[in-house]
Structure 1
Amino acid sequence: MPLILRGGARAAALMILMSLVTSACGEVYRWRDDQGRTHFSDRPVPGSERLQIEPPARTAAGTYVRVQKVYDGDTVLLENGDKVRLLGINTPEVAGGRKQEEAGGEAAKAWLKRELEGRRVRLEQDTEFQDHYGRKLAHVFTADGEHVNRLLVEQGYATTDIYPPNLKYVDDMLSAEARAERDKKGLWALPEYRAKTMAGLDFGGLDGWQRLVGKALGVDERKSLYILHFESGFEAHIPKQNVRSFPPLQSYVGLSLELRGWVSRRGGAYFMVIRHPGALVKR
């Protein structure tokens, strides 16, 4: 999970480093590339050095705020006015505005409402503090210490949506997802979320979160990303800033893979943006 330090962004980089230290691995590595840019990562790479950084002190109990309202399965409003988007997960849409209800959306909202509305929670933030909607990004914990993000995934109400550099609890979340899939809980039992074979599929007719299965045929490098080509012309776009989290991309070629995410189109090409290997599953 590399981070690049440019220009005068030293204060921001220090904040990022402290967030990384509090992640599950608790280690930060630094290295320079051929262009002289400084990178930070939670995983060692050739030529990197491990930094010794002490995490900031925090109270044992943390700060708790009451949940005033649950909007859907992954967004809540706190009584202090903060709108919070739960990190590392995605739940299906509920009906509202221009959005149509997706299978499992109301069930996820009902579960979160039952568990959190009117209760006090503690937030743990990661590297990025807000999304582009101005919502706080956080892992949410109850007063009993329950990790709500993980529970939503474990019960099958949510799928993982790993978005580097926010990698706190990533291993726990992926393990919870694997258990839910194995036990066919929640979304994993619904026909709408069954894996679809790419061959002969009408990609233009796909809405929402998808599971697509196909054989990887080759890898191309572009300016800012790598493209993993699949049968039927489908593509996985892997941003270069995220590629160090993956095994060598060439190792995927020839394998049957399941891509998890949202289908996009640019020109005549259909693709998924894959930012973490958790969304690229070997079948």
Structure 2
Amino acid sequence: MIITRSLNKAPSQFWLGVFVSVICFFSLPAVAAELCAASGKIEWAQIKKIVDGDTLHLRDGRKVRVMGINSPEIGYRKKDDPGYPQPLAMAAKQAAENFFSSGSKVGLRFGELRVDHYGRVLAHVYRADGASLSAHLLSQGLAWHVVVPPNVSGWQCLQAVEIAAKKQSAGLWGHLAYPTKQANHLSMNDTGFQQITGKVVAVNRTRGGWWVQLGQLAVRVQDKHLKYLDDVTPQDWLHQTLTLRGWVIDRSQSSAVKKKGYSALMINLQHSAMLK
């Protein structure tokens, strides 16, 4: 627990390396959930249903989107789509169900933004003993680590768990269905959550932010998020190779895209944990 507290208060490459070494030395799934254990103000509730790895329903009617992770999609509304459920989606759901197998009590630590635009509660989720669901899934490679400001609490610990899982090629890190895609070779089928790499060919300043061109992908960086990107100047990325992750959006129907020939695919970059 000392390592976790130090890491949360003063994130550094030194402590990140120490943390990764610790969880790699021990059985990763066994220690990861405890190292990122519950802290701060926790609200306790009862689970009604595990929907998938990163979504659950409570008995009081609330729907919860688990903070810190994105798991493969089951695609309940896409039963006729051969791409669903995505590989390891059912394994992530099963792992979440097994995580709470001893009872239905769940702890919630809410984000600064408590509800998303779908009406879901945004929270870190814990078992009755304080163990973290996000860390548990990340340790098995059944989810990707994500950070969406302003909900940034605990990201250093979860990032370290993912790094350790990646070193062991756990789950999706060893699965052929989840390669890092080349920005120059993206198609309109490459929407949704992706990991993408490419060379920055253009950087443009606009009102309120920056547009960074990465192959076929337009990357939006808003000024309000620069503080989460170590106050970088995006202009410094020109001609550099970046690897990032996030949700790719199809904006091909936008009038501006059609008139000015902008890239039809875009992604929002909001935090350093989503960038390499």
Residue 63 of structure 2 contacts residue 121 of structure 2 at CA under 8 Å; is this kept in 1? Answer: yes
Q: Secondary structure at 1:123's aligned position in 2?
A: strand
Name the structure 1 match of 2:123. 138
Name the structure 2 match of 1:49. none
Q: Distance in 2 between matches of 1:273 and 1:185?
A: 27
Q: Distance in 1 between matches of 2:160 and 2:118?
A: 29
Residue 122 of structure 1 contacts residue 142 of structure 1 at CA under 8 Å; is this kept in 2? Answer: yes
Does residue 205 of structure 2 align to residue 221 of structure 1? yes
Q: Distance in 1 between matches of 2:245 and 2:68?
A: 14
Structure 2 letter corresponding to 1:248? T
**What pairs up with 1:134-213 in 2 under 5 angstroms?**
134-199=119-184, 201-213=185-197
Name the structure 2 match of 1:80. 60
Name the structure 2 match of 1:5. none
Residue 210 of structure 1 contacts residue 263 of structure 1 at CA under 8 Å; is this kept in 2? Answer: yes
Would the alpha carbon gap of residues 81 and 203 (structure 1) be closer, same or farther in structure 2, given more than 3 Å must change?
Answer: same
> 5+ residue gaps in structure 1?
1-22, 27-58
Would the alpha carbon gap of residues 248 and 108 (structure 1) be closer, same or farther in structure 2, given more than 3 Å must change?
Answer: same
Kindly state the Cα deviation for residue 81 of structure 1 after the two structures are TM-superposed.
2.5
Task: Report the TM-score, using the length of structure 1 for normalisation.
Answer: 0.72
List structure 1 runs of 4+ shifted beyond 3 angstroms: 23-26, 59-63
What do you get for the CA RMSD once the two structures are aligned? 2.4
Kindly state the Cα deviation for residue 62 of structure 1 after the two structures are TM-superposed.
4.8
**What pairs up with 1:230-241 in 2 under 5 angstroms?**
230=214, 232-241=215-224
Q: Distance in 2 between matches of 1:210 and 1:63?
A: 32
Would the alpha carbon gap of residues 77 and 217 (structure 1) be closer, same or farther in structure 2, given more than 3 Å must change?
Answer: same
Q: Distance in 2 between matches of 1:132 and 1:224?
A: 22
Q: Secondary structure at 1:129's aligned position in 2?
A: strand
Would the alpha carbon gap of residues 265 and 79 (structure 1) be closer, same or farther in structure 2, given more than 3 Å must change?
Answer: closer
Does residue 94 of structure 2 align to residue 94 of structure 1? no
Kindly state the Cα deviation for residue 146 of structure 1 after the two structures are TM-superposed.
0.6
> 5+ residue gaps in structure 2?
1-6, 11-38, 252-256
Task: Report the TM-score, using the length of structure 2 for normalisation.
Answer: 0.74
Would the alpha carbon gap of residues 251 and 120 (structure 1) be closer, same or farther in structure 2, given more than 3 Å must change?
Answer: same
**What pairs up with 1:90-129 in 2 under 5 angstroms?**
90-98=70-78, 100-116=84-100, 118-129=103-114
Give the share of equivalent positions with the same residue, in percent: 28
If asked which structure has higher relative contact order (CA below 8 Å, sep 6+), I would say 2
Kindly state the Cα deviation for residue 63 of structure 1 after the two structures are TM-superposed.
4.3
Q: Which of 271, 277, 280 lines up with 2:275 in the alignment?
A: 280
Structure 2 letter corresponding to 1:243? L
Does residue 239 of structure 2 align to residue 244 of structure 1? no
Q: Secondary structure at 1:193's aligned position in 2?
A: coil
Q: Distance in 2 between matches of 1:178 and 1:105?
A: 20
Would the alpha carbon gap of residues 60 and 167 (structure 1) be closer, same or farther in structure 2, given more than 3 Å must change?
Answer: closer
Would the alpha carbon gap of residues 132 and 233 (structure 1) be closer, same or farther in structure 2, given more than 3 Å must change?
Answer: closer
Kindly state the Cα deviation for residue 159 of structure 1 after the two structures are TM-superposed.
0.7
Would the alpha carbon gap of residues 126 and 24 (structure 1) be closer, same or farther in structure 2, given more than 3 Å must change?
Answer: farther
Name the structure 2 match of 1:65. 45
Indicate the structure with greater helix content. 2
Residue 125 of structure 1 contacts residue 139 of structure 1 at CA under 8 Å; is this kept in 2? Answer: yes
